[in-house]
Structure 1
Amino acid sequence: MPLRAYLGLIRSLAIYYNPLRRRQLRAFYGDLLQPGDLAFDIGAHVGSRSRAMRAAGARVVACEPQEPFAGFLRRSLPRDIVLVQKAIGPSEAVAQMAVSSLHPTVSSLSTSFAAEAAGAPGFGHVRWDRSQQVQMTTMDALIATHGLPDFVKIDVEGFELDVLSGLGQPLPMLSVEYLPAFRDRTLAVIDRLESLGRYRFNPVTGEAGGFLWDEWRDADAVRAWLAALPPEGGSGDLYARLA
């Protein structure tokens, strides 16, 4: 594994295991999840959210195909967190991941994401310098093995719609990362969710540690909110709850 990949791992650990961030995540998931809930962490990265979900009492399945992160999780996660060293996507396949060694959080299985991001605000310093072959399975297959999850976190850098393409039933609750510079991808995710069931939505901006709105809103309200965001705005997570 190239040295740059390990430097990327160290950088991610410094970011995501910040003590304040860990406390915020534990408090947030403590309110969101109930003991005994089943949670899928799709794009587990360094496992900070998997650990926070577990601290809330959830049973956790963490999915992470990228090395050296999968190896780190294999060695460091609590034994009661199930690690699936696969990507989640539209089919059972072998896929190529575009990897940014120094900024591994933006590594992606989307064939177009890296090309689009090259000219997007906030990505000028990022280089996708290598590729990695990964095994891919579907959300439906994951559910067949582990059960229907109460909550699914999806953070896969532009591959969210592909993840949901491998799902044939509505989920009770999920979150997807949104990036204002790629709002069309989030709008496509909203359309896909509406094809599965009737959802209400609520964003978490950046690392705010709480929902933006006091009440969950319908898809049209979220579309209007996304349309008003400046392209250079920060990322966050959009939560969707089955009505």
Structure 2
Amino acid sequence: MRPLHGRGLDRIYQAFVGPGDLAIDVGAHVGDRLAAFRRLGARVIAMEPNATLFRVLAWLHGRDSGVTLLPDAAGARSGPGVLHLNRANPTVSTMSDSFVEAARATAGWRSQVWNEPVAVSVLTLDDVIARHGPPAFIKIDAEGVEPDILTGLSRLPPAVSFEITTMARAAGLAALDRTLALGCNRFKFSLGESHRFLQPNWIDGAAMRSFLTALPEHTNSGDVYGVTDDWTPRTRPSSG
């Protein structure tokens, strides 16, 4: 992994996880966030339904007793599901039909092809937490499925992050609404892979909705971080 990338991840996540904490990594991909959580001393439950990426995770982290790897997707209900694979760019594989449709109409995404549906197992976050314990932080990166994943969660941990893409902005706004309903009341945003917050101070849900609505299309993607009144920073969060 690129050293600067790793240090950036450690910098932004150090406010949310520390030694003894549990983090749930939904859409673990090839494990860069997982690795950051481990460097910060947290145990990790990593969910990745893409079999190719799961093999990478198993090779990198399968012998780490502090990591539990789950070959499952997260969703609104536990049961069977369908993952649309993008073989050329597997980290953007998705379970969202609307995400695939939006890509076809968006400059910069039209070359992406999801041409292989595969059956996968889906677990709710409630089920995962019931089996593995309550987390301090949940990170969600699932290409437009974030609202469904949060629907499968009935009690929010102290902190959560979820990705939003401007081409599937409605999904990101729906995820924001769900975190508000679950008790998040302060938010910040990190653009792309900058690993820095754009806001120097936490803002409320209405201000974050306005911010996300106004994001220019060319910004493409970023992550919303939300915290509840139960959150206590592990270290001082960087405003970057």
What's the TM-score, normalizing by structure 1?
0.89
Cα displacement string for residues 145-198 of structure 1 (whole angstroms, at most 9, x for unaligned residues): 111110000000000011011111122111001112222111111111122114
Question: Who is 1:18 aligned against?
Answer: 2
**192-201 or 144-153, larger mean C-alpha shift:** 192-201
**158-167 or 189-198, larger mean C-alpha shift:** 189-198
Specify which of 43, 47, 58 is matched with residue 42 of structure 2: 58
Contact 1:121 / 1:232 at 8 angstroms: preserved in 2?
A: no
Specify which of 108, 122, 125 is matched with residue 139 of structure 1: 125
Asked if 1:221 is matched to 2:201, the reply is: no
Q: Per-residue deviation at 1:106?
A: 1.3
**What are the ranges of 5 or more consecutive residues in structure 2 without an aligned counterpart?**
230-240
Question: Who is 1:126 aligned against?
Answer: 112
**What are the ranges of 5 or more consecutive residues in structure 1 without an aligned counterpart?**
1-16
Partners in 2 of 1:221 and 1:121 — Cα distance? 28
RMSD: 1.3
| Aligned-pair identity (%) | 38
Contact 1:181 / 1:232 at 8 angstroms: preserved in 2?
A: no
Judged with a 3 Å threshold, the aligned counterparts in structure 2 of structure 1 residues 23 and 70 are, in CA distance, closer, same or farther, namely same
Question: Who is 2:237 aligned against?
Answer: none
What is the letter of the counterpart of residue 45 of structure 2? V
Helix, strand or coil for the counterpart of 2:188? strand
Question: Who is 1:177 aligned against?
Answer: 163
Partners in 1 of 2:92 and 2:38 — Cα distance? 25
Question: Who is 1:89 aligned against?
Answer: 75
Contact 1:63 / 1:85 at 8 angstroms: preserved in 2?
A: yes
**37-46 or 221-230, larger mean C-alpha shift:** 221-230
Cα displacement string for residues 29-67 of structure 1 (whole angstroms, at most 9, x for unaligned residues): 234322111100000010111011010011111111101
Cα displacement string for residues 97-143 of structure 1 (whole angstroms, at most 9, x for unaligned residues): 11111111211011221112111232022111212211111100001
Partners in 2 of 1:34 and 1:132 — Cα distance? 36
**214-223 or 191-200, larger mean C-alpha shift:** 191-200
Question: Who is 1:6 aligned against?
Answer: none
Specify which of 111, 135, 145 is matched with residue 159 of structure 1: 145
**What number of residue pairs does the alignment pair up?**
227
Q: Per-residue deviation at 1:20?
A: 2.1
Helix, strand or coil for the counterpart of 1:112? helix
Flag as ranges the 4+ runs of structure 1 deviating above 3 A: none
Question: Who is 1:13 aligned against?
Answer: none
Partners in 1 of 2:214 and 2:192 — Cα distance? 16
Helix, strand or coil for the counterpart of 1:35? coil
Partners in 1 of 2:60 and 2:216 — Cα distance? 39
Helix, strand or coil for the counterpart of 1:32? coil
Specify which of 11, 31, 42 is matched with residue 26 of structure 2: 42
Judged with a 3 Å threshold, the aligned counterparts in structure 2 of structure 1 residues 116 and 234 are, in CA distance, closer, same or farther, namely closer
Question: Who is 2:181 aligned against?
Answer: 195
Partners in 2 of 1:142 and 1:199 — Cα distance? 24
Contact 1:121 / 1:231 at 8 angstroms: preserved in 2?
A: no
Partners in 1 of 2:163 and 2:83 — Cα distance? 18
What is the letter of the counterpart of residue 80 of structure 1? G
What's the TM-score, normalizing by structure 2?
0.90
What is the letter of the counterpart of residue 52 of structure 1? A
What is the letter of the counterpart of residue 173 of structure 2? L
What is the letter of the counterpart of residue 231 of structure 1? E
